[in-house]
Each structure stands twice: as structure tokens, then as C-alpha cells.
Structure 1
Amino acid sequence: MRSTTNLLIINLAVADLLFIVFCVPFTATDYMLPFWPFGDIWCKIVQYLIVVTAYASVYTLVLMSLDRFLAVVHPITSMSIRTERNAITAIVVTWVVILLASVPVYLSHGEVTYTYSSAEHTACVFLEADPINRPDGYHKLLFQSIFFATSYATPLALICGLYLWLLVRLWRGAAPGGHVSAESRRGKRRVTRMVVVVVAIFAVCWFPIQVRPRKANTRQNE
């Protein structure tokens, strides 16, 4: 079971489990209550972990696409690359880069006080720059643009590129004697359908988080 593919699947499961344990209960509570009850530090940590686990999941899928590409397109030469040690190294490097690159998320979120229905409440929001109330805040559009580019557009392009290359090599591969059997054609069609489904599911499932409005910010604006 200790293959490169299974190590990547385990890493994907760990990232998803961290999201379920450390993010879902608190964001669900935030959506049910009219205030943020966990304090400023935990607000920053939850938002940071949401982005970290999202990146970890997405780029693990990219690594899995690369692993499948090497296994199919370069089955012999990639044997020295697709090792357990290299897989663990790739996973560790990915986590380190994500943890460091996501530090701005921790800094740009926090607990704020707002007035709603003549009462003061707290909310965990993005600390958007405001010329009057928060001149030292952060540029929300820039933040969202970078997040979209690095968590959706770039991974999707990499996955599409790897799988497209894989399919091109698969369909152009010549069989011995130039004859392609019916079973071979059926196998190629199954692989093609699987690739299309994988890419489509990734594109569809990861798109809503890129466009959804943040409830906390909506509250604050009210």
C-alpha cells in the first residue's frame, strides 16, 4: 500500500480531515449565529487553515495528475522518480510552501465589531482597507484575484495540461503491427471518459468558493 499514489491519497485525506475538524464546526457556527464567539486569534487561525487545507487539497490533486501522467506516458523512465521517498519529499515541500505562502491570510483576517439592529456584534472578516476606519487594511480584490489564480486557475490549467498530454500520447501510441484491437479502443475510451469526468468535477466543485459572497462581510456592510 505504500505507493506514490496511495501516499498522495493519504495526504489528500489528511488535508480534508483537517478542514472538517478545524474549519467546518467554526464556520457553521459563524453562519448560524449573528456574531463571532471564538475571539480574534481563532478567527485568524480558522481563516488561515481554510486556505491552507484548500491549497493542500488542490495541489495534492495536481501531484496526483503528475503521478498518473508519468506512470502512463513514461512508465519505465519514471520508475526512478515515482518512489516513496520522492513522493514524501514532494508532499512535505508542498505543505511547507503552502504554510508559508498563506501567512498573509492570517494577517488579513480578524474580529471586528459592527452595529446591527441597534446592537453591537462581532464578526470574523477580511480586514479590508477603508480610508476612514481602517487605512492600514488590505486590498480585498487583490487578495481574491491572487487566491483565484493560485487555487483555481493555475491548478486547473496544470491538471488539464497533464491529462491532455496523457490522452494525446495514449491515442497516438502505436500498437505492435499497427493494429489496434477493439478492447484497446474501449480501454482508451474509458480512460478518456474518466479524465473528462475528473477535470469536470474539479472545475465545477471548486468554482463556487471562488465566487461566493462572504457572509461576515455582508453582515458588516449591513
Structure 2
Amino acid sequence: PLVMIGTGILWFGWFGFNAGSALSANGQAVQAFMNTFLAAAAAGLAWAITERIKDGHITNLGAASGIVAGLVAITPACGYVSSMSAIFIGLAAGLVCCFAVHLKFRAGYDDALDVVGVHFVGGLVGSLMIGLFADAEYFGAEHMSGLFYGGGFRLLGEQAIANGVTIVYSAVVTALILLALKATVGLRVSEEEENVGLDISEHAETAYHADDTIMERA
């Protein structure tokens, strides 16, 4: 239940910075608000269906992750696409991110919160899809239309280049930060501390009191 409560709070808050980016109560703010809702709902549905087909069941965590993936994907496009396009963006994000979260098991990187699978991949999906679904009606500039709206490959190419630059910049800066942390306070805790939990090993207290029987059932 805490996961779903947190997802609901995130979803509600997302309306603020997506619609609020218009800086006034105008038509673009309304469009951004509606697109944010539609994309999140579509992504949650897409993730649930994919999970059902792939694993034979639907999970609350999967539905929550799908909703967040949709919110991430629609953020760069929320004020510049139609409502139907927002649904397509959400469906694509839910589908792609549902598979992307399993990359950590193949690649072996540590990502307990699925930041790569949901936020990184979801962000790439959304920013690239501006190049497909951007509508000049919302941009106010004909040359800013996406591929599916008669704008050709120009905007899609620009978005791809921007994504590439962002990835390189983020990778370099993150590597520098991680190297600095490794050389000072340390980058990781021990495996024993991970098994015990950081609440116990770092703070000598725990946030949740559960006996072994409850943990085994979970």
C-alpha cells in the first residue's frame, strides 16, 4: 500500500510541474495537465498487460512503475502533443520500460529503484517521441512539427542529438562524482551491511518492525 500511496502523491505532484511550466492558466497548461494524466494511465495499463502476458500475473509494483514511466515519458512532450499522441507515448513507455527494468539483471548493475529502466529509458522514449508526435498547433511554429505531422525528420534528429549530448554529459559528470565518493567516504557498503540493512548498520534502528515469519511470507 505504501508504494501505491507514494505513486499517487507523485502523480498528483506531477501535474504541478508539467502544467505549471506554462507559467499561466492557459490552454497549453490545460493540455499539459490532461496529457500528463492520459500518458500515466496508458503506461500503467501497458505495463500491466505486458507483465500479465510475460509473467502470467499483474503486480502493484509493476502498475506503479508503469505509471511513473508514463509520467517521465510525457514530461518533455506534455505541452506540445495531442491527447491521442500522449496516450501512444504512454503505451510505448509502459511497454519498453517493462522490459528495460530487467537490463540490470543481464548487465549486473545495482539499481534497486529501477532508475535506469524507468527514468532513463522512459525519458529517452518521451524525448524522442516529440520528434514523431509534436504538433505545430501546440508549438505555434510550423517547422516544429514531428514526423507524423508533416515536419519530416528534422525535429526527430534534433531530439536524438540532444539525447546523445545529455547522455555523454551525464555519464562524465556522474563518473567524476562516483570516483570522488570512492576516494573519500566510500562508494558502497559491505555485502553484510546490505543484508542487515542500512537502517541497522548505519543508524542502529529500523523503520519497520517485522519478524522472520512475516519476512518469509513476503
Larger radius of gyration: 1
TM-score, normalised relative to structure 1: 0.30
Structure with a larger share of its residues in strand: 1
TM-score, normalised relative to structure 2: 0.30
